[in-house]
Amino acid sequence: MPSEPRCELCDLPLGQCAHSSRPRRSPQPDLILISPKGVAHVPGCQHKGDDPDFSRWAEIRDVPRAWEKLGNGEAISATGGAVPGLVAVSRCKDCAYLL
């Protein structure tokens, strides 16, 4: 039996948490930013605790289901940006609230 979808912020079943009632953007962003620490962010994130200097960041574009893959533990290499050699290895928890 498939498991019920869960909220990325509080791990409660979707529809049973406070986060479920807010409007959501596309769960697959067109642009993902990679911090120098390898953390994936979506545009609009506060980037709390991370380096705010985008001259050291990279981008992921045109990688199907990249955000989903990162959530499943897959690493995704940058496709552009200032430092195209970066690899995203995790997703920002704050960004999950933006999607």
How many folded domains does the chain comprise?
A: 1
Give per-residue pLDDT as tens, 27-83. Answer: 688 899 999 999 999 887 877 666 667 899 999 999 999 998 998 899 999 999 999
pLDDT value at 8 more than 50 = yes
What are the CA-CA distances from residue 65 to residues 37, 55, 68, 81 (Å)?
21, 25, 5, 19
**pLDDT for the residue numbered 46:** 75
pTM: 0.70
Decide: 6 and 12 in contact? Cβ < 8 Å. Answer: yes
Q: Is 55 domain-assigned?
A: yes
- Residue 69: domain span: 24-98
pLDDT of residue 26: 53
User: Would 32 be classed as within a structural domain?
Assistant: yes
pLDDT at 57: 92
**pLDDT at residue 22, rounded to an integer:** 53
Q: Give domain status of residue 8, yes or no.
A: no
Q: Is residue 56 part of a domain?
A: yes
What pLDDT, on a 0 to 100 scale, did the predictor assign at position 48? 63
Asked, for residue 15, whether it belongs to a domain, the answer is no
Distance CA 85, CA 81 (A): 9
d(CA 51, CA 46): 11
Q: Which residues contact 7 (CB under 8 A, 6 or more apart)?
A: 13, 14, 17, 19, 20
In a domain, 7, yes or no: no
- The verdict on residue 14 lying in a domain is no
